[in-house]
Chain A
């Protein structure tokens, strides 16, 4: 399909996982895409995708990213704030350095990218923030992560209200998606294999999510098909949060 023909997109955190799936899908839909990450350009990134080494929590890096967007694209049609970090700790265990790292990327990074790029976005532009079901239902031992995703939801609504009708802004709240991040969460369980089986049983879809599932919704939200969609945080979790966490069958 070519729903994103003639559109330009910046996707943060495109090295792997959900970010890479979104990058690949946008290219398949006809968009010109720039992505970024903290390390060097990944070897397996297709040649026509622009890469910039950048830490979204660093002001200078975000400014340089903005300059590159203007230089390469002129104006931007789609911004996907996907870069995120997760720290598996309660707040009592969380250090000030943890705060700087996590809130720097998940909160300040999203803020700075929106602040700097909204002025260079074309009318009809679409911002897609990657939130999490953790914004409204807490995952145990992920205190700051949960809170940072609530920030993303609040900011999403504010951008939609302040910068519509020129720009639409929505968030996608993934549930459990099979990425390295999810594996890290399972790894801290007492019995990781049993934890994974338990997680599967809690999904009406009968499986955990895939990065490509999220890319499907991102592509729709980025396209003109979603012209009336703004200010929403759409959950994509295989039905997990539609059901109560207490399942007698799992006792």
Chain B
């Protein structure tokens, strides 16, 4: 590996999830000191990755975590807001509790983490914040109403943060994955019948003839986190194997 993150520090929410763990592993291989923040510890952690129990919906935990981190680290170079959930329902079937819960994690959690991380992020000379949006923030998948809406909010928040904190030397971008092979995607397939044939059908609708892996997403997160991307800010980076470059495909 090229070690393009040597000397940098990184904090990844949802750091033990499908995509989050791939990001932490990649950051560590690139030379960064990494904290994987999540609800429960993973079975194993890569070298240079430290687990911290963290809940993005709890303001006290967010405030205290960064207060304590400021005593250990003199700066935070990379913040990745990857914590997120999806609820597979239309708005009619979604309860207010479910709606509030998905927004608390996907949107409010991003707000709270970024808010309390900012003083430490500001001390970096090359700071990069990477939020997790989704291609679902642009075009809808059926039965994911609250999730789609939450990702639209993430996209707008990303642009606002880039606009407000760019002059302080902080870059803010969002990555908008398409279909990525994670437990979340398996759950989305789960209710639709024959998973194997469905997987092939999903692959075939992509110009790349495959859906993404967590490593594919980590490749772009790594670039955006690095100084290579020093002019990249305020953008929503769709990474979907070409899925959304085409119009709806008819089954002819």
A203 at the interface (CB under 8 A from B): yes
Give the number of A-B contacts (CB < 8 Å). 132
A251 at the interface (CB under 8 A from B): no
Docked complex Cα distance between A236 and B230 (Å): 10
- Return chain B residues, CB-CB under 8 Å to A165: 206-210
Contact partner of B231 (CB less than 8 A), chosen from A157, A220, A229, A238, is: A238
- Return chain A residues, CB-CB under 8 Å to B159: 242-243
B228 touches A243 (CB 8 A): no
Given contacts A165-B209, A228-B216, A239-B163, contact A160 B230 (CB under 8 A): no
Interface set, chain B 94-126, CB cutoff 8 A to A: none
Contact partner of A232 (CB less than 8 A), chosen from B209, B229, B238, is: B238
Docked complex Cα distance between A216 and B239 (Å): 17
B246 touches A157 (CB 8 A): yes
- The segment from B37-45, B80-88, B164-172 found at the interface with A is B164-172
The residue of chain A having its C-beta at the shortest distance from the C-beta of B229 within the complex is A216
A229 touches B220 (CB 8 A): yes
The residue of chain B having its C-beta at the shortest distance from the C-beta of A162 within the complex is B207
- Return chain B residues, CB-CB under 8 Å to A226: 219-220
A168 at the interface (CB under 8 A from B): yes
A231 touches B234 (CB 8 A): no
B13 at the interface (CB under 8 A from A): no
Report A227 CB to chain B, min CB distance, Å. Answer: 6
B162 at the interface (CB under 8 A from A): yes
- Please classify how large the interface on chain B is, using the bins under 10, 10 to 19, 20 to 34, 35 or more: 35 or more
Bits for A213-251, please: 1 = Cβ < 8 Å to B, else 0.
Answer: 100110110000111111110111111111100000000
The residue of chain A having its C-beta at the shortest distance from the C-beta of B237 within the complex is A234
B244 at the interface (CB under 8 A from A): yes
Given contacts A206-B169, A228-B212, A234-B237, contact A220 B245 (CB under 8 A): no
Bits for A179-221, please: 1 = Cβ < 8 Å to B, else 0.
Answer: 0000000000000000000000001111001100100110110
Docked complex Cα distance between A132 and B169 (Å): 24
19 interchain pairs, CB-CB under 8 A: A3-B2, A161-B207, A165-B210, A168-B242, A204-B167, A206-B167, A216-B229, A216-B230, A217-B229, A220-B220, A226-B220, A228-B212, A228-B219, A228-B241, A232-B242, A237-B235, A238-B234, A239-B171, A242-B158
Interface positions of B (Cβ within 8 A of A):
2, 4, 158-159, 162-163, 165-167, 169, 171-172, 206-210, 212-213, 216-217, 219-220, 222-223, 228-235, 237-246
7 closest A-B pairs by beta carbon, nearest first, are A204-B166, A231-B245, A242-B234, A164-B207, A239-B234, A231-B242, A213-B231
